Amino acid sequence: MAIVGAGVAGLAALRVLDRAGINARVIEARDRIGGRISTVRDPRLPYPIELGAEFIHGSAEEVIDVVGDAELVAYDIEGQRWRTKSGRLTRLDDYWTRLHPVMRNLKSVTTDRSFADFLSDKPGGQSASDARKLARTFVEGFHAADVEHISAKALADGGSPSEDPEEQRIMRIADGYDRIPRWLVRNLENRVATASVVEEIAWGPGAASISVRRNGSANLMSVRARAVIVTIPLGVLLASPGETGAIAFSPPLAVIDDARAHLAMGTVTRVVFLFDERWWTDTLAAAPRDASLDRLSFLHGESREFPIWWTLYPAHLPAMTGWTGGPRALRLAGGSHGDIEACAVASLAKNLGVSRRRVASHLQASWTHDWQTDPYSRGAYSYALVGGAGAAKRLARAVQRTIWIAGEAADAEGRNGTVHGAIGSGRRAAESVLRVLSSSPTRARAPLR
């Protein structure tokens, strides 16, 4: 039994199979586990720096269970939301309420269309013009999506946090998000081969041969397995033959062609700033008189490049994260660290109504990771295109009881883009494998093509 990918989906599948006595092996292209969870620690900041997954959104049962089992510390993010509008800072504590007049109308979508087309009908009426602007930024940022292409029906099926206070809950893991994959792999580390790039999976009903290149070697090794769970990101799954990280399936999988037509990999650019002090808590000309940003958690700004920022509140630490998703992030992909830092400095200055020099004078260090050009992710996370509301369920179906695809893009419950969706998908794939193995009579396996 083989698993391709040591993100949380692959590691969750490994644990399920191990408990059932199946000696599964994980093959991972990176030199580390965790996939799109990437936690950095720096002695200048007594807190983990997240360059990948950072928040626990909503109920997230699968992640919360691991947090409890691993005795990690997770806490609610409270504090205050602020917004920049026409150069002035105002409180935005009713953020979800403001979104609701628009997002509630997604329920009325019967024939699928893009979210941009949905907005063109002016849901919520004339009085909801500002809410539509917020909704557009929300979908671009939260779903990492192009509003011209994301499915309005898929958004409706997934539900909106504006309707469910539980789904509005946001938590952070104080110990660092990388503790989640570490806990999933505990005592099974010897089952994971890192720096091992899968180049081809040749398969037939009941058997597969996996061609792997280890540590950049010129030689390929072959791993044979009764079944394979593939947990690579959608961007890698859809990569063209010959591209770094791409996997060739022989024979090809029709389910991948279906995914290519109905799912897309979203783009995110994030930059984390470390400052010498929490300078934004000082008096700002753009803020109301006597107002304090001491409890600032999220800032919704006017800058097109990085419209969303957040602090580490309630930790009083001098760090802020800038975030942009969708087409805006795509324009930044491939840029140098210096260019992205400079763009973020300008964006934060505009959002807070201060000079670039003031922001830069306090800046001590910055971090970013280009997930879009990373060959083993090729984007941030997935979203459904118009007509693709059921594509994730189709992607999760077993292929001739031999190949399973799992991960956030293949979560049958539509929890794409989430760690809990990835964990749930990996577990369900492993449970499906166990059902097949327990029901399969001993027989000669089909020859590989």
pLDDT above 90 covers a percentage of the chain that reads 91
Q: Answer whether residue 447 shows pLDDT above 50.
A: no
* Structural contact between residues 77 and 297, judged by C-beta atoms closer than 8 angstroms: yes
Average pLDDT of the residues in 283-299: 94
Q: What is the pLDDT of residue 443?
A: 42
- Which stretches does DSSP call E strand in 20-154? 25-27, 39-42, 45-50, 55-57, 74-76, 80-85, 88-91
- What does the pLDDT average to over 97-112? 93
Using the predicted structure, report yes or no on whether residue 153 has a pLDDT greater than 70.
yes
* Average pLDDT of the segment spanning 400-418: 96
Q: What pLDDT digit, counting tens, does each position of 39-54 carry?
A: 999 999 999 999 999 9
CB-CB neighbours of 365 under 10 Å: 14
Q: What is the pLDDT of residue 145?
A: 97
210 DSSP β-pair partners: 201, 223
Place of tokens 């934060």: 348
Q: Average pLDDT for residues 242-264, to the nearest whole number?
A: 96
| 341 sits in which H/E element | helix 337-352
Question: Are 331 and 12 within 8 A, CB to CB?
Answer: no
Q: What is the mean pLDDT of residues 318-329?
A: 97
Q: What are phi and psi of 353, to 5 degrees?
A: 70, 35
Pull the structure tokens for residue 361.
């004078």
Half-sphere exposure of 410 (CA within 13 A, CB side): 30
Picking from 170, 167, 2, 14, the residue whose alpha carbon sits closest to that of residue 78 is 170
Q: In b/e form, how buried is each residue of 188-224, taking b as 16+ CB within 10 angstroms?
A: eeebbbbebbbbbbbbbebbbbbbbbeeeeeeeeebe
**What is the maximum alpha-carbon separation in the chain?**
79
User: DSSP 3-state assignment of 71?
Assistant: coil
The per-residue pLDDT for range 372-397, each reduced to its tens digit, is 999 999 999 999 999 999 999 999 99
Residue 448 predicted with pLDDT over 50: no
Which amino acid, residue 185?
A: V
Distance CA 154, CA 390 (A): 8
Give the span between the Cα atoms of 414 and 390, in whole angstroms: 9
Token readout for 17 is: 């199979």
Q: Hey, is 111 helix, strand or coil?
A: coil
Those residues whose C-beta lies under 8 Å from the C-beta of residue 93, and which sit 6 or more positions away, are 80, 81
What CA–CA distance (Å, rounded) separates 182 from 22? Answer: 20
Extents of the domains making up the chain: 2-56+64-71+176-262+390-439, 74-173+268-368
Q: Decide which of 3.90.660.10, 1.10.150.120, 3.30.70.100, 3.40.50.300 is the CATH code for 74-173+268-368.
A: 3.90.660.10
pLDDT tens readout for residues 261-277? 999 999 999 999 999 99
- Count CB atoms within 10 A of the CB of residue 283: 10
The predicted pLDDT at position 219 comes to 85
Q: Which residues are 137's β-sheet partners?
A: none
The b-or-e profile of 65-80 (16+ CB within 10 A means b, else e) is ebbeeeebebeebebb
pLDDT per residue as tens digits for the range 216-243: 888 899 999 999 999 999 999 999 988 9
Mean pLDDT, range 68-81, rounded to an integer: 96
Does 20 have pLDDT greater than 70?
yes
| Dihedral of alpha carbons 406, 407, 409, 410, sign | positive
- Per-residue pLDDT for 202 more than 50? yes
Helix (H/G/I), strand (E/B), else coil: 112? coil
Per-residue confidence (pLDDT) for residue 441, from 0 to 100: 64
The rounded Cα 220 to chain-centroid distance in angstroms is 31
Q: For residue 355, how many C-alpha atoms fall within 13 Å in the half-sphere facing its CB?
A: 3
H, E, C per residue of 133-200:
HHHHHHHHHHCCCCCCCEEHHHHHHHCCHHHCHHHHCEEEECCCCCHHHHHHCCCCHHHEECCEEEEE
Among the listed residues 429, 440, 447, the one whose alpha carbon sits nearest the alpha carbon of residue 16? 429
* C-alpha to C-alpha distance for 83 and 301, rounded to whole angstroms: 6
| Segment among 143-147, 160-164, 243-247, 361-365 with least mean pLDDT | 160-164
Q: Stretch 312-332: mean pLDDT, rounded?
A: 96
Give the position of tokens 């503790």.
179
Least confident among 146-155, 200-209, 307-316, 438-447: 438-447
Write down the pLDDT at residue 215.
87
Residue 297 makes CB contacts below 8 A (sequence gap 6+) with: 77, 78, 79, 80, 81, 310, 311, 313
pLDDT at 148 over 70: yes
pLDDT surpassing 60 at residue 445: no
Say if residue 446's pLDDT is above 60. no
* CATH node for 2-56+64-71+176-262+390-439: 3.50.50.60
